[in-house]
Amino acid sequence: MARPSSRRPGVNRRAQYGLFASYVITIACAIAGLLLVLVSVADPAGFSVLRAGAATLTSPVASALKSMVRSFGTIDEQIIAYIDAGSQNAALRRQVEANRVKLIEAEAVAQENSRLKKLLQLTQETDNKVATARMISSSSTISRRLARINTGSVAGVLAGMPVRAPEGLVGRVLIVGPRSADILLLTDSQNIVPVRRARDNIGAISTGRDDGTVEIRPLSAGANPFRPGDIVVTTGTGGIYRPNIPVAIIVALRDGYAIGVPLANPARVELVMVERAYDANIPAPVVQSKTEAPASEAAVQ
């Protein structure tokens, strides 16, 4: 008995149909191509219309394929950029830190230049300058409100001379050494300065309160004439301080007097100018001696 064939009739029939269809498609494509060649030779204008129509129909597919190819072509660039982003961010952070340091240095230099310009302008506006100096230390203990400058008798500084900054009055020279001097600040209770309100000349006396502020007590009895924000300046009375030097700004009112803050705050003043006394014939003021000396580590009030 013969062995039956392992091939199924349906499989052979499908293969035959597929082969026949491929032949038909090939022949049809060849005929279509031949027709297009004949049309292009016989009627070029008509062939151009056909070609334009075909391009219009296939343009979306062509655009999609082109975008796909372009995106695949930039994948390697994107990967490299992602890898480099970390190192670039680190470099940018280092650059920002360096620029921040330079900015801080530039601001410090600008502030120093501003202070020097103000002091230069002050020295040019007066003929009474003795010396310019830096405040190098201070004492804010209960017994004294003193500061020390790096200029002394070698530069012509004498006891009793006024000391001022571009912002206003700082105090007066108390003790003089060859190359340094101690300043009795406005905030010391033994520093008494005749003042007036700048806008209407109401007279008053400024006395230190040993706490970083001054007491402004009007000369006339009655209601307190001062208001917060008022500026008081020197009057020239007493012969030590020249007139119209800014002294303090009123910040609070009390019964019969006002509290002021020196405009030339020793905590922020660095450069000062020592002047001759307004009246050169008056003797140097005598202040009761204290045992406390300025300490370089103390804070200025």
* DSSP for residue 16: H
List beta partners, residue 204: 195, 218
Does pTM top 0.75 for this prediction? no
Helices (H), 8-74: 9-42, 44-73
Identify the pLDDT of residue 174.
92
pLDDT at 251: 94
Phi, psi (degrees; rounded to nearest 5) at 247 = -115, -60
What pLDDT does 300 receive?
A: 42
For the segment(s) 130-275, the CATH number from 3.30.70.2200, 2.40.10.340, 1.10.760.10, 3.90.700.10 is 2.40.10.340
Taken as a whole, the chain contains a residue count of: 301
Residue 143 pLDDT: 66
pLDDT at 138: 75
**What confidence score (pLDDT) does residue 291 get?**
44
Mean pLDDT of the chain: 78
Per DSSP, 194 falls in state E
Domain locations in the chain as residue ranges: 15-73, 130-275
**Confidence (pLDDT) at 142:** 54
Q: List, for the chain, all residue ranges whose pLDDT scores fall below the cut of 70.
A: 1-11, 39-40, 43-55, 57-59, 61-83, 86, 102, 105-106, 108-126, 140-143, 282-301
What's the pLDDT at 130? 87
- pLDDT at res. 301: 44
CB under 8 Å to 224, separation ≥6 — which residues? 218, 253, 254, 255, 256, 257, 258
- Helix pair angle (44-73, 9-42), 10° resolution: 120
Q: What's residue 296's pLDDT?
A: 42
